[in-house]
Structure 1
Amino acid sequence: MHNPWRRVVIFYAWAMLMAFFFANAEIQIEGGAGWATSLPTWRIEKHWLLDIFWGGRAMTGYHAWVFTFMLLVFFMPLAFNARFRWSDMVLAVAGVAVFWVTEDFLWFVINPAFGLARFTPEIVTWHPNWLGGVPVDYWGGTLGALALSWLHVRLARREAQPD
């Protein structure tokens, strides 16, 4: 049996590489106006469901399409593998979390309008909740990905056992 932890590390490295490229593309689209504030897209600024599922941020047409597209990218291998494994499903969900945490952070680091010095709750107002110097979403995404990694490995080992 192959080492499932090796697969996780390689998969996350690939997700982070994709995040780097996507962050650069998004900088070209948004410039220094984060969270699609200057884009010609619809916005829902306040709704109680946004507080629960979207971290209190506005929902925009741009983000609705981009987030859905990236989900489809991460789940595409499952759709075309001609098999279903829970371990693959779990890894895809974890990959989405790794991708978005990495992409969002790199957007600030790479963006000439920001950089780390401007990565603060006072300036980055579209991330309303911060803990330990980063948006709370980063903690949730990272801890969720770690938990899902552990689950993926357990499931992969169980799926590799002969019946």
Structure 2
Amino acid sequence: MTGAVEKTGVARTLGYLAWVVVMAFFFANAEIQIEGGAGWATSLPTWRVENSLWLDIFWGGRAMTGYHAWVFTFMALVFLAPLAFNGRWTWRDAGLAVAGLIVFWVCEDFLWFIINPAFGWARFNAVDAFWHKHWIWGAPVDYWGGLAVALLILVTRHWRRAK
């Protein structure tokens, strides 16, 4: 591929990620209206599984709730919808969808704290955000791990295209 074509591919990916951040902003605001200051659905009328080895391994030790089971599945379907509607399931497209979904959830969760009147920057910490059990470098470990996976997917996606 020529440099111009690859730059266009990277520019399109960056445009897509900007759109993902805008979607995360709107969803964070909707979730603030739903949860208020009670994060991780702690005051919602939903089922909860609090302690499980599987939650520790796959969910960062957070509770699994009916609210999160439905909303996470719904958003996965939203990000995969273009593949379904196009009738084209390629690894590149699926990778972009998965990377977008990861970036969406990291940004949405962070924005939930920052723009939530009950939290803000001052309460973005392990004590006040007790449902995030593991923190490093001032943020939940999930953020760093998720962004690393998304970056790996995107770099691989563009590197393989350039070959």
TM-score bin, normalised by smaller chain: over 0.9
The alignment status of 1:124 with 2:122, answered yes or no, reads no
Q: How far apart, in 2, do the equivalents of 1:149 and 1:126 lie?
A: 29
Superposition map of 1:62-101 within 5 A = 62-101=67-106
- CA deviation profile, 1:54-97 (whole Å, cap 9, x unmatched): 01000000000000000000000000112222111101000011
Paired position in structure 2 for 1:48? 53
Paired position in structure 2 for 1:20? 25
Q: How far apart, in 1, do the equivalents of 2:42 and 2:29 lie?
A: 17
Paired position in structure 1 for 2:112? 107
Paired position in structure 2 for 1:134? 139
Q: How far apart, in 2, do the equivalents of 1:99 and 1:81 lie?
A: 22
Structure 1 contact 16–102 (Cα < 8 Å) conserved: yes
Q: Which amino acid in the other structure matches residue 7 of structure 1?
A: R
Runs of 4+ in structure 1 off by over 2 angstroms are 154-158
Structure 1 contact 87–155 (Cα < 8 Å) conserved: no
Quote the offset at 1:118 in angstroms.
0.7
> Unaligned 5+ residue runs, structure 1?
159-163
Quote the offset at 1:11 in angstroms.
1.1
Paired position in structure 2 for 1:149? 154
Structure 1 contact 101–138 (Cα < 8 Å) conserved: yes
Q: Which amino acid in the other structure matches residue 19 of structure 1?
A: A
Aligned length: 158
TM-score (norm 1): 0.93
Quote the offset at 1:157 in angstroms.
4.2
Q: How far apart, in 1, do the equivalents of 2:58 and 2:140 lie?
A: 15
Q: Which moved more, 1:148-157 or 1:119-128?
A: 148-157
Quote the offset at 1:122 in angstroms.
1.0
Q: Which amino acid in the other structure matches residue 86 of structure 2?
A: N
Root-mean-square deviation (Å) = 1.1
Paired position in structure 2 for 1:57? 62
> Among the aligned pairs, what percent are the same residue?
63
**Pairing partner for 1:32 from 27, 37, 44:** 37
Q: Which amino acid in the other structure matches residue 82 of structure 2?
A: P
